[in-house]
A and B are shown apart, each in its own frame.
Chain A
Amino acid sequence: MTLKHSDAFHDPQIARHLVERITRASRRPIRFMEVCGTHTVSIFRSGIRSLLPETIALISGPGCPVCVTAQKEIDAFIALAREPETIVATFGDLIRVPGSGSSLQREKADGADVRIVYSTFDAVNLARENPDKRVVFLGVGFETTAPTVAAAILAAHQQKLDNFSVVSAHKTVPPALEALADGEINIDGFLLPGHVSVIIGLDAYRPFFETHRVPCVVAGFEPADLLQGIAMLVDQVESGQPALENAYPRAVSAAGNPKAMAVMNDVFEMADADWRGIGTIPDSGLAIREAYAAFDAVKVFNIQLKPTPEPKGCACGEVLTGLKIPPQCPLYKTVCNPMAPVGPCMVSSEGTCAAYFRYHDDA
């Protein structure tokens, strides 16, 4: 049972028309960055790359939450899994990410209690069902995920649970755009994430857009959504009139989701965050407010984040900022593959290296 409009966004006639429109309009070589990992996967899966004219290059950005998680945070997660009487709860794609010496998966095989949950509420339920254990949820993700983690903290607070806590390694998208636009890479336009924008709304990008005047379009995930977003970016570039536009109006509004924002802002406050491959970006993270300090795993477990070198030879950092594509990494396919990933970009299904490995025929 699906919405009657869903099929239309797969309609080959509409897709063909959009490709034609893009091909006619695009004259000079342009580089667009899709900032969201789910976009990266949709673009590869739908074969859009091969349909676009040669003038257009699509570059993947830092939009895979697991991939931008700093190595020292991964190490801290692994250290938590080694704590006695502790259950570590996480979404699935984090467990295979290698830290400096181990991974959550390896710790689990060695007897640590690591549980994969589908929703943050599952982690709260684990805490309620295991009063003699401490349950820590590993909070990794952008503005789409952060409200669901905040909701879990509010629920634990309401249920007076004293054995539930969260590591907040969340990151926010607009400050990352600033860092990318200020960086060494030349981007002619940004395809902005669909579901982050559902929460924060189109207006959240206004300050970034006004400062940089670079073409920006929010897009959805179906082939027609993506092509429509790219067509709008091409029109902006070719007309020399950058704009902040919305190609996903059925889900994204100007103001976003005020209730989700309120829940998120109730629990979290802005903080600096370390991004793999980019470094520290001011105000791009979310720390748990003092009022909820009892649920802050960093305080509960007195976690010390020690700087650790990233895996040797791994070019994830350059891949995440669009400076390299995976085949330019010497380890790609030779040493690093989804069965034996060296870096997080190969682990997560939303990682650029994993997407290349699966869908890109570069022989």
Chain B
Amino acid sequence: MCLAIPSKITHIENEMATIDVDGVKRSASLMLLEDSAVGDYVIVHAGFAIKKLDEDSAMETIRLLKEAAAFVDNLDAGKG
């Protein structure tokens, strides 16, 4: 039931947002979200935006994962 795909807010009117999910337009209520603006990426559950995604945190996670992956590859290369 959970849509894990982040959706981009393209328009806001009366606490209702138009969102873009992989190119498909849908509407989502902003009633459960503290603050949001056009351009934000949100997680939408059953027609409600429930969370603004923290892009900085996402990029940080990826950086750490990539660093760790490269580290293992170097170890393997060293062994070979």
Overall SS of chain B's interface = mixed
Does A119 lie within 8 Å of B48, measured CB to CB?
yes
Query: What's the Cα separation between A20 and B46 when bound, in Å?
Result: 36
Does A228 lie within 8 Å of B65, measured CB to CB?
yes
Interface residue tally for chain A (C-beta within 8 Å): 51
A38-B1, A198-B43, A228-B65 known; A3-B53 Cβ under 8 A: yes
Does B68 lie within 8 Å of A5, measured CB to CB?
no
Does B50 lie within 8 Å of A91, measured CB to CB?
no
Q: Which of A71-79, A103-111, A139-147, A163-171 binds B?
A: A139-147
Does A195 lie within 8 Å of B2, measured CB to CB?
yes
Proximity bits, A221-254, B CB within 8 Å = 1, else 0: 1101000100000000000000000000111000
Residues of A within 8 A of B73 (CB): 17
**Nearest Cβ on chain B to A133's Cβ, whole angstroms:** 22
Q: Does A323 contact B (CB under 8 A)?
A: no
The chain B residue with its CB closest to the CB of A38 is B2
Does A260 lie within 8 Å of B32, measured CB to CB?
yes
A3-B58, A5-B59 known; A257-B50 Cβ under 8 A: yes
Q: Does B55 contact A (CB under 8 A)?
A: yes
Query: What's the Cα separation between A151 and B45 when bound, in Å?
Result: 13
Does A38 lie within 8 Å of B4, measured CB to CB?
yes
Q: Does A118 contact B (CB under 8 A)?
A: yes
Query: What's the Cα separation between A251 and B50 when bound, in Å?
Result: 10
Q: Does B13 contact A (CB under 8 A)?
A: no
The chain B residue with its CB closest to the CB of A150 is B32
Does A148 lie within 8 Å of B1, measured CB to CB?
no
Residues of B within 8 A of A91 (CB): 1, 46
Sorting the interface of chain B by its residue count into under 10, 10 to 19, 20 to 34 or 35 or more gives 35 or more
Q: Which of A6-14, A276-284, A307-315 binds B?
A: A6-14
A5-B59, A119-B46, A259-B33 known; A221-B2 Cβ under 8 A: yes
Does B50 lie within 8 Å of A21, measured CB to CB?
no
Does A251 lie within 8 Å of B51, measured CB to CB?
yes
Residues of A within 8 A of B48 (CB): 119, 147-148, 151
Within 8 A of B (CB), among A1-37: 1-3, 5-6, 8-9, 11, 13-14, 16-18, 20-21, 36-37
Within 8 A of B (CB), among A103-131: 118-122
Does A220 lie within 8 Å of B51, measured CB to CB?
no
Does A198 lie within 8 Å of B50, measured CB to CB?
yes
**A145 interface neighbour in B5, B29, B43, B46, Cβ under 8 Å:** B46
Q: Does A183 contact B (CB under 8 A)?
A: no
**Nearest Cβ on chain B to A257's Cβ, whole angstroms:** 6
Q: Does B77 contact A (CB under 8 A)?
A: no
Task: Show the binding face of A for B, using Cβ within 8 Å.
Answer: 1-3, 5-6, 8-9, 11, 13-14, 16-18, 20-21, 36-38, 42, 65, 91, 93, 118-122, 141, 144-145, 147-148, 151, 194-195, 198-199, 220-222, 224, 228, 249-251, 257-260, 263, 350
Contacts A/B (CB < 8 Å), 28 sampled: A2-B22, A3-B55, A5-B55, A8-B66, A11-B66, A17-B69, A17-B72, A18-B65, A21-B68, A91-B46, A93-B1, A120-B47, A122-B47, A141-B1, A145-B46, A147-B48, A147-B50, A148-B29, A151-B29, A151-B32, A151-B48, A194-B4, A220-B4, A249-B54, A259-B33, A259-B34, A260-B33, A260-B50
The 7 closest A-B pairs by CB, nearest first: A119-B47, A17-B69, A221-B4, A250-B58, A5-B58, A260-B32, A8-B62
